[in-house]
Structure 1
Amino acid sequence: MSMHCANHQESVTSKGLTVVKASGVARLRNNASLLNVILVGFYSKDDYTQDPTVSTLPTFSIKDILFVTGKFRFIEDTDNDERELPILKIGLHSVVHLAISPSNLLAFPFLINMTAVVTNLPRNDPDHDDISFSVETKDFMDQENVDLGLECYHLKSATHLTPTTNSLKKGTLLFMNGELLDKERPKVTDLAIKALNQDQNSEIQNLSIP
């Protein structure tokens, strides 16, 4: 995803690692409001390290427009009116500088790539135009296990996808990638999914919303 860096701080650990913590904003393609983002990156002065996320990250500073990848989680803070604000926190794997003015920050897709477990059977409500199912993914970040629930869906008009969706069961392990659309209640569309613990030879099924 891409973001505008508005704040940048550095600290040095006892092991000689430089820890960069930055914050800024990004814009999801389907949401007019901005998404608050926190970046955390690790840098070493050593010429050689076993961890590529430490040795190969480019440096960046305030006002830079960045395209970033990494582990992510959602955390919450409150504004002056005590309203909860979702904040996307990313542990950096890569950073690319974009030659874009901060005043022209574009709405880039927030693409995710992960394994996940189906937590609810597909829902095919006759009063709705889509079929949806829920998944949960787990990762280790900020020195703790992180659980993230996501809602995935496709239109009923995509009839070639319905047999695949209806075959999903609670506990099915999926490899999936797609686009996160809603920061308040995470939803994912434009999916490619593959069931890892069913038919190992099955083709990847594309679940897309125009």
Structure 2
Amino acid sequence: MIDMPCVILCGGKSSRMKEDKTLLPFFNSNSLAQFQYDRLKLHFKNIYISSKTNKFNFINEKNLILDENKEIFSPILALDTIFKKINNRKIFIITVDSPFVTIESIKELIKNSVDVDVCVAKTEDKVHNLCGVFDSNISITIQSMLRDDIHKINYLIKQNKFKIIEFTNHNEFMNINNPEDYKKSLSYINKIYNSN
């Protein structure tokens, strides 16, 4: 079991999906959030969900980290709340809408995160800013960004000691942002499980 805590980000707006994607049915689960939670809890000793509200019926309240700020949708604000709850630790962060990232890739990111504050994944020309290891040291940068009303995750990464790890399987880092992505992801997951 991985000793590092894992937090699944579920507090986004889902504006491109036009409905809350965290609650969309996914493969053999009632929701995308439950699918991501159930698959990762097999590998992490401590796993949490970060969200604006408690909209999930499958987790214990102690595993839920509710954003302090309900009005502004920003991963920076989510990270701020997460680090207040889990301090002095490195944390593996992943978004709910990337359900195909393998445990092997997650372990690779963790292994490479030892000497840096942030270690995130990259495929081809895209950096996956919210798939990686974040050290609570970066709380200082987060506080200063919030004071200046800066909410760009890329800015946060660049202000700290970071490492970007390249992966070759683009599908593994597929994001489910809109109805087309959702359709594609359902067909992809059926292919994965039917070929095993």
Fold in common (TM above 0.5):
no
Higher helix share: 2
| Greater strand share, structure number | 1
TM-score, normalisation: structure 1: 0.26
Question: In terms of Rg, which structure is larger?
Answer: 1
- What TM-score results when the alignment is normalised by the length of structure 2? 0.27
Higher relative contact order (CA 8 A, sep 6+): 2
